Structure 1
Amino acid sequence: MILITRRRMFACSASAIALAWGVGGPAVAQDIQQPSTTVDEIVVTAQKRTQNIQDVPISIIAIGGDALDAAKIERVADLKVLAPGLEVTRGTQIANQRIQIRGVGSAGNSGIEPSVGLFLDGVYVARPAALLGNLVDIEGVEVLRGPQGTLFGRNTTMGVISVNTRAPTFEPALEGAVSYGSWETAGFRAIGNLPLSDTLAGRLVVAGSRTDGPAYNDLAEEPIGQRSDILVRASLRWDISDQLRWTGRLDHQHIAGDGAPHSELIPRTLTPTSIANFRARLDRDGAGPEVAELPDVSDAFDEHLYHFQKGDLKDTQVGVTSDLTWDFANRWRARYIAGYRDWTNEQAEGDVLLTPYDLATRNARFTSESISHELQLISPERELMGGRLDLVLGLYSFEEDYTTYDRTDLGFDYCDRFIRNALPARLAGCLAGPLLDAGHNGLVQEASSLAVFGESVVHLTDTLDLTLGARYTSEEKTGSIYQVRNNTADLLRGPENTALSYEDDQLTYRLITTWTPHSDILVYASYATGYKAGGFENAASTTPLGQERVFDPETNENWELGTRTSWLDGALTLNGTLYRTDIEDFQVRSWDGLRFLTRNAASLRQQGVETEARWRVDHRLSTSARLAYLDSEYLSYPDAPNLPGFGGTQDLAGERAPWTPKWQGSWTVEFEDELPNGWGWSLRSDLYFVGDQNVGGDGNNPDAIQRGYALMNLRLALSDPSARWQVSVYGQNLFDKDYCSSIFVQAYDGPFGLRNAATGSTALRCTVGTPRFVGAELSAKF
């Protein structure tokens, strides 16, 4: 939870604006009362206690709920604008959400556990795609960088994203908003808070949105990226007594649409020869009069596509959280958090090869049903051992039933066009076999995790603290992989039925030394270890993989040296962190031309610097900046995939990993004032920039490098004197910067004749980043 209070400052010279290149905090005040000389105070619970963020020896970014609204942060993927070093991308399947911190993350549509733990109201969310919905009525978000396993759930080797929704209060309130913007995008939200008695209060949130999406398919003559979603969240707070409190939450989310990605061929990766080969493989009558059509090869950023379109997405989930806190008479606190989440994602996508013909449709289904329990025992601060010891102790359990299912339906053009030209030896089998359910595969997995954890803070002196934390984790997984090929022209899979099992236990720990030489200066040094469970590879394979599908856990070591400082009587804060993370048995999921396979294939070093500055210039103007520098190097990776045109493997030792830009940063400026008639107005700008990076996944294909770019967001708001009504206009990616959020190889690039054996190159596709969006919103609070 993040609590934020704004204190205004006395006016200062306007010339100070020129100095505000990197300042201020993202948290926005809820109540503005009197001018003050300090920046916003941000209170976080990263260490299971409520603390000022300046007292927390962790590399952390905290964003308050009002700041999320002001910056129009509506989804987890948008958080990167205020949290450089955090990246959220998706693949062709919307279930494939990859969350990365410090350049490391895991694909979400696989058996791999995430590298970044995602927590909603203190409950671990096992599958990142389960949090696809809008961020509505949020108290705050904390982004913790580096291993956090001693205090947070599981699988937090690279960090944590902790999202906390607003709890009911004992003040009646009603608010709502409607919005409209580009691509026929419309949204609404309604929030009601009602005290039911002196000890009981409830809160209800209903929100929804719909959009046509940013691109248009000229062949299908319809938009691509259509989506609608609805969220209902009900919460209840019961203050049973002065010592005992309970909060329960129930949420239901549903997303529907075509689920299609905005993906286009990159013209510079095509040659006249590869274009001719592509067309020839799709030509049904050979030397006859027909000339086969191709997908759009003219411009990856023209927002027009040309391929057969069949898409259907249904994503549904239900979550329940119970949070019970008991304050004992001796000021010890016990907290019990239980959570349940049931998530189902179904998506049909075709043509999955992204051609103008009905070649193949993929029908996928993912389900995750999980339950967790966590019991915390928290000591009073500075009371044990004569004020020298603080403790956090806990027990944790987690269980998940996870399934994946992938079926291929072949279209009428698959045999006559693709197989006839690309693989003629399989034509007879293709025509003789079934087109529907040409093959399917799936994973059934049961996972359980048990852990005991603790962390102690020893106050050695009034200025020197030592933090010791440890977690012992036991993991167990059982499952099976099955594959069925009903048509011999199915190029993805062969028969397989393999029982799988995995069992492991691990001790992780953290040591932090904190020195506070002055009330406004904190210096810390830390060492921590991280652990991510092993698991099962669920990808389709033409040959049975058997026990090769089991991969081992991933571990890391993390060193940090950081400072948190306050200057100018609290008007300016400057924070910085130096870090080095060494990852062993790195779980790499790489593409071999037909499939993804996970291996413990590499050792990786990520190191860099993270800085943050916040400055309250005066009572009207605040500004903030964050800058992250990342140096990445494979220490060992002898069997990395080679460039597609070469095939085989290559040694990437000494090379930079993908998804690791050297520089990322953001700059926020916010100004607010009153008009002579008492109306208030505010202007907020958010600039996000990122340097060159390879966004093509494994293999370090130089053609997959996305050059650096910057995105500008802007919001202007006007509110009436009572502060009940507000109208705002806003723009995101205001200068309409073209960029690829990810780059991937054109499916079946080999059979299509797109590979170049001389250069190693092949045809690549760009998942196009969100183009310029402009909108307006009307909101009211009562």
Structure 2
Amino acid sequence: MKLKVILTILTTSLMLIVNGQNKGELNGTIKTEQGEPVIGANISIKSINTGTTTNFDGYYAIKLTEGKSYSIEISYIGYNTINKTVTITSGKTTHDFTLSESSYMLEGVLVTSQKREQKNKDVPIAITSYGTEFIENQGTLEYDALSEYVPGFQVQIQSVNNPGIVVRGITSDSGDSRVEPRVSIFQDGVSISKSRGSVVELYDIERVEILKGPQGTLFGRGAQIGAMHIIQNKAKNENSGSLKVGYGNFNQLLATGDANTILAKDKLFLRVAGIYNKRDGYIENLSGGDLNGKETLAFRTSLKYLISNNTSLDVIANWQQDTPPGTAFKSGTFEPAGGDLSPNTFADLERGEDLGVDRTVWGVTGILKHNFNATWDLTSTTAYREFDSNEAFDADGTAAPALFFNEISEGKQFSQELRFNFDTDNKFRGFFGANFFFEDGSQSVPWEYNEQSFAVLLASPEFFVINGVPTLIPSIPNDPAYGPLAGAPLNEYNTETYTNYGKNYSGDIFADASYDVTDKLSLTVGLRATWENINAAYEVTDAETPSNLGFLTGNYPNVLYASTNGEKIEASENFLSAVGRFALNYDINDNITLFGTASKGRRPNVINITATETNVLSDETVLSYEIGAKSLFLNNRLQFDVNAYIYDYSNFQTSVTEFENGTLTATTKDSGNASTFGFEVATQFAFTKNSSFFANYSYIDASFDDKDSDGNEQELAGNTFRLTPKNSFSLGFNINPTVNKNLDVFFRPSYTYKSKVFFEETNLPEISQDGYGLLNFRTGLHLYKKYEITFFMNNVLDEEYIIDAGNTGEAFGIPTYIGGAPRLYGIQLKANF
């Protein structure tokens, strides 16, 4: 009986204690010094390993034990951290806080690569992140300009229709609708990776994050070796805007601006932005017009609706049209009349002003976010996107009417992702979800030609062009060697076309989570399983006029493209796959973090169809191992990162254009095994509130192995990957002293260097560019904190270089070369309102 009484008393006492411990609550609001609520500020109580974040109103609440005192920390990127001890009374204890802006702050400290806001230092991935300020300061409106400042990242843009995007030696540039890129390009969480639709103008940008290494668990099936995430500015709860106009040499015209307004107080906001950027080409074309110019018109509209304190909806619509002049594929074999073979001087490409690109890209994205509680939230991302591009180019690089092509690419895609995010007491956090993706695309390549010119290229290429004048023969030579074809007439005009089609469905389930094993050590595991239904097709539209020349090449009635006899050859396969990552983070102290990762990346299988055969290439896989260290010192003023990595590739896929046995094919081949070793170093330092320095260096040794997985000697053994400099670096200053309260001056010099690159995996010496560096600067005035006058100059030393070589002409033994931009300069005016 006594035992029952004692147990009853103990149970009652325990219940009273437990109930008493749950009665207290700490709550309040967190605002800026201007009175704006801070959304997503962190409230942390490290002694009990708990915390929360503020909602859309800046409000927070935490259940705590009544009568106890706690040391709490309030932090938000860009603001000074507050530490305060509070005592919890019965009921609700209210404490409001005001955050003051940090005197010194580096951009790129905050990233969302793991689908949640974190300091770059705390993410076990090699990441380079640049925000609005850096992009504006460097005047980077295109990928290739931005890539100069990212270690291990190279972007070559022949035209907006044909970019080459390289992460640590791996190139993603195929326009074949059946081939998945190796590098994922994402825009606000949506894949825009297909090469012909992936180039978008960098205007009104919040942040760009470049992740190196396999990122399949975070960014899906195309992120075999890396991802670039473009995060655009969304509508905000404010009335604001800006306008910038500029003029430069080669008649550059720039106009860009944005406007943000409140449609319904604290409820509905609208933002519009746009850009027009035009510049004449810097290579004169004797046949008419100019080459290597630019013309882009783009608009964006975004709407934010705060449905409730816990639910928000962003709708973003993008539209972009590009109509630049043609690309200067200048011959390195035949000089134009009165000219030379330099790719940086005038050219003579047939069709003149008919050369160029006409491309339209548009899409709509909806992002719905809902917070269930302090632990769980949901993100739903729905998107639809289309692109339509037509590029006309002269592949022989001369005035000869032999190799004039169009590339007509079309694509549409739909994607839907549901992602549940969780954060349990700041100890276990991550996400899981599912994704559905559909794409339907095609790439059509019409070839228009004069048989009388092309016959010379086939039979006597040394006489193809003489003193800039094309050689024409009206008929097949009247020689007994040609048998019945001797003396047969050749057409002055003909056309034939090949088209590839790709229609793909994929479904993913994924999960990625981090667990704090101790206060210093955290472990991250990610997995993505994918089902793919890949459908490919190929067809050839035969020559408009059956060609006698086709008897000699073996492709009658065509000349170049082997006929499919009026049929579309189709094939379909289903594939299951999985990729994953394992990572460790170790905090040496509050300033330095070590990380290590092991991960697997994958490029999907390719169904390769030609007129004569259909084969399925194995999926290209890579095993990645990386270690590194990240650091933040001096209250986020000094950042220093270093990492090293090893990649091991199997079934490496190579895109090639070949002319063999009279037939031209653009196809993808399994080139066997390859491996990469490299390391990167990057640093930023803010030495005053508005002045900073950055520098980075990258070393990449990426080449094909001597033997394949079966022990056979490889055709490309020892060759370096294309578009891969072994050494590259960049550095720059933002010097921004204040003269008085109404006037600041600034000077922003930068220098970038890359060592020798090969433009083809054959590593031919003449198809390469030796190392070179580019010096740029921007200087000007800030007036009354609202106005800005900038003078800029790129390639100050007027360095001559090429951005590509070989190309389609190389398949015929007459490679072409594309000259890089000369010195460009101009003035820009900006106003904020």
Q: TM-score w.r.t. structure 2 length?
A: 0.79
Letter matched to residue 363 of structure 2: G
CA contact 2:451–2:494 (8 Å) conserved in 1? no
**Preserved CA contact (<8 Å) 1:472 1:506:** yes
Specify the SS of the correspondent of 1:525.
Answer: strand
Structure 1 match to 2:23: none
Match of residue 398 from structure 1? 437
Contact residue 104 and residue 115 of structure 1 kept, 8 A: yes
Deviation at 1:360, TM superposition (A): 3.9
Q: Is the 2:392–2:404 Cα contact (8 Å) retained in structure 1?
A: yes
Once the two structures are superposed, residues 440-466 of structure 1 have per-residue CA deviations (whole angstroms, 9 ceiling, x without a partner) of 110122101110000111211111111
SS at match of 2:146: helix
Aligned in 2, Cα 1:37/1:724: closer, same or farther, shift over 3 Å?
Answer: closer
Is 1:608 equivalent to 2:692 in the alignment?
A: no
CA deviations over 1:550-598 (Å, ceiling 9, x no partner):
3221111110111112345544222111111111111111243444321
How many angstroms does 1:254 deviate by? 1.0
Q: Deviations over 1:478-532 (max 9, x none)?
A: 1310013324335420112421223211111110111112111111111000111
The alpha carbon displacement at 1:61 in A equals 0.2
Question: Relative contact order: is structure 1 or structure 2 higher (C-alpha 8 Å, sep ≥ 6)?
Answer: 1
Q: Distance in 1 between matches of 2:235 and 2:434?
A: 27
- Select which of 235, 240, 259 maps to 1:173: 240
Q: Does 1:510 align with 2:585?
A: no
Displacement of 1:312 in angstroms is: 4.0
Q: 1:474 to 1:429 in 2, by over 3 A?
A: farther
Q: Distance in 1 between matches of 2:407 and 2:715?
A: 34
Which of 425, 435, 448 is the aligned partner of 1:409?
448
Shift in Å, 1:234: 0.7
Q: CA–CA distance in 1 between the matches of 2:172 and 2:238?
A: 42
Partner in structure 2 of residue 621 of structure 1: 691
Which whole-Å CA distance do the structure 2 matches of 1:305 and 1:477 have between them? Answer: 42
The yes-or-no answer on 1:581 pairing with 2:647 is yes
Change (3 A) 1:518 1:420: closer
Residue 301 of structure 1: how far off its partner (Å): 4.6
Q: Are the counterparts in 1 of residues 284 and 290 from structure 2 also a CA contact under 8 Å?
A: yes
- How far apart are the structure 2 equivalents of 1:158 and 1:569? 33
Alignment CA distance shift 1:436-1:357 (3 Å): closer
Give the TM-score taking structure 1 as reference length: 0.84
Aligned partners of 2:344 and 2:819 also within 8 Å: no
User: 1: CA distance between counterparts of 2:108 and 2:157?
Assistant: 34
Q: Does the 8 Å contact 2:174/2:655 carry over to 1? A: no
Contact 1:357 1:413 in 2 (8 A): no
Q: Which residue, out of 735, 748, 764, partners 1:671?
A: 735
Partner of 2:532: 475
Counterpart contact for 2:722–2:761, Cα < 8 Å: yes
Match of 1:742 in 2: 804
Output one character per residue of 1:588-613: Cα deviation in whole Å (capped at 9) or x when no partner.
11243444321122211111111111
Q: Secondary structure at the match of 1:203?
A: strand
For each residue in 1:109-165, what CA deviation from the matched residue of structure 2 results, as whole angstroms up to 9, or x when unmatched?
113211110000110113133233421100010000000111212210110000011
Secondary structure of 1:150's counterpart equals helix
Equivalent pair of 1:638/1:653 in contact (CA under 8 Å): no
Provide the C-alpha distance between the structure 2 equivalents of 1:617 and 1:720, rounded to a whole number of angstroms: 22
Matches within 5 A, 1:17-56: 36=103, 39-40=106-107, 42-56=109-123
SS in 2 for 1:193: strand
Q: Which stretches in structure 1 are left out of the alignment for 5+ residues?
A: 9-31, 276-292, 640-648, 755-762
Give the Å deviation of 1:364.
2.3
SS at match of 2:264: coil
- Secondary structure of 2:692's counterpart equals strand
Say if 2:782 is the partner of 1:731.
no
Look up the match of 1:712: 775
- Aligned twin of 1:316: 360
Q: Say whether the 8 Å CA contact 2:451–2:491 is kept in structure 1.
A: no
Q: Distance in 1 between matches of 2:221 and 2:406?
A: 30
- Equivalent positions of 1:454-469 (< 5 A) are 454-469=511-526
User: 2:340 matched to 1:298?
Assistant: yes
Give the equivalent residue in structure 2 for 1:371: 414
Does structure 1 conserve the Cα–Cα contact (< 8 Å) formed by 2:451 and 2:490? no
- CA deviations 1:694-731 (Å, max 9, x no partner) are 1x21211122231111111100121212x221110111
Aligned residue for 1:545, secondary structure, equals coil
SS in 1 for 2:577: strand
The answer as to whether partners of 2:496 and 2:540 remain within 8 angstroms in 1 is: yes
Instruction: Output the amino acid matched with 1:404.
Output: Q
Contact 2:107 2:131 in 1 (8 A): no
Q: Superposition RMSD on alpha carbons, in Å?
A: 2.9
Q: What's the counterpart of residue 223 of structure 1?
A: 290
Q: Indicate which of 591, 594, 599 corresponds to 1:520.
A: 591
Question: For the residues of structure 1 that align with 2:454 and 2:329, how far apart are their CA atoms?
Answer: 25
User: Offset of 1:216 from its aligned partner?
Assistant: 0.6
How far is 1:655 from its partner? 3.4
1:392 positional shift: 0.8
Question: Secondary structure of 2:763's match?
Answer: coil
Per-residue CA shift, 1:183-237, capped at 9, x if unaligned? 11101113111100020000111211222111111x2243223442211111100
Kindly indicate whether residue 166 of structure 2 is the aligned counterpart of residue 103 of structure 1. no
* Selected match of 2:750 from 686, 691, 696: 686
Q: Distance in 2 between matches of 1:443 and 1:431?
A: 33
2:731 is the alignment partner of 1:660? no
1:6 to partner: Cα distance: 5.9
Return the alpha-carbon distance in structure 2 between the equivalents of residues 709 and 33 of structure 1: 45
**Are the counterparts in 2 of residues 97 and 109 from structure 1 also a CA contact under 8 Å?**
no
**Distance of aligned partners of 1:656 and 1:241 in 2 relative to their CA distance in 1, 3 Å threshold:** same
- How far apart, in 1, do the equivalents of 2:362 and 2:570 lie? 30
Superposed displacement of residue 70, structure 1: 0.9
Deviation for aligned residue 1:34? 7.2
Deviations 1:96-118 (A, max 9, x none): 32211001012231132111100
Q: Secondary structure at the match of 1:658?
A: coil
- 3-state SS of the aligned residue for 1:355? coil
Is 1:415–1:430's contact at 8 Å kept on the other side of the alignment? Answer: no
With over 3 angstroms needed to count, the CA separation of the structure-2 counterparts of 1:339 and 1:34, relative to structure 1, is closer
Matches within 5 A, 1:416-495: 418=457, 424=477, 425=482, 438-486=495-543, 487-488=546-547, 489=549, 490-495=558-563
Post-superposition Cα deviations, 1:270-312, rounded to whole Å, max 9, x if no partner, equal: 5xxxx6xxxxxxxxxxxxxxxxx85676242543112323314
- Please identify, of 416-425 and 524-533, the stretch whose mean Cα deviation from structure 2 is larger: 416-425
- Who is 1:126 aligned against? 193
Deviations 1:50-73 (A, max 9, x none): 011111111000000121111011
C-alpha distance in 1, partners of 2:765/2:519? 54
Q: Secondary structure at the match of 1:54?
A: helix
Task: Label 1:197 to 1:313 Cα distance change in 2 as closer, same or farther (>3 A).
Answer: same
Is this contact kept in 2: 1:364–1:405, CA < 8 A? yes
Cα separation, 2, equivalents of 1:412 and 1:585: 39
Do the aligned partners of 2:327 and 2:356 also contact (CA within 8 Å) in 1? no
Read off the aligned partner of 1:773 and give its amino acid letter: L
Deviations 1:367-395 (A, max 9, x none): 01000111110002x42xxx542231010
Partners of 1:367 and 1:112 in 2: CA distance? 14
Is the 2:416–2:437 contact (alpha carbons within 8 Å) kept by the matching residues of 1?
A: yes
| 1:666-713 Cα shifts (integer Å, max 9, x gaps) | 10211101224731111111211111221x212111222311111111
Please list every run of 5 or more consecutive structure 2 residues that lacks an aligned counterpart in the other structure: 1-38, 42-75, 81-98, 462-475, 550-557
Structure 1's 367 and 295: CA in aligned 2 closer, same or farther, altered over 3 A? farther
Contact 1:403/1:445 (<8 A) preserved = yes
Percent identity among equivalent residues? 21
Equivalent in 114, 120, 139 of residue 72 of structure 1: 139
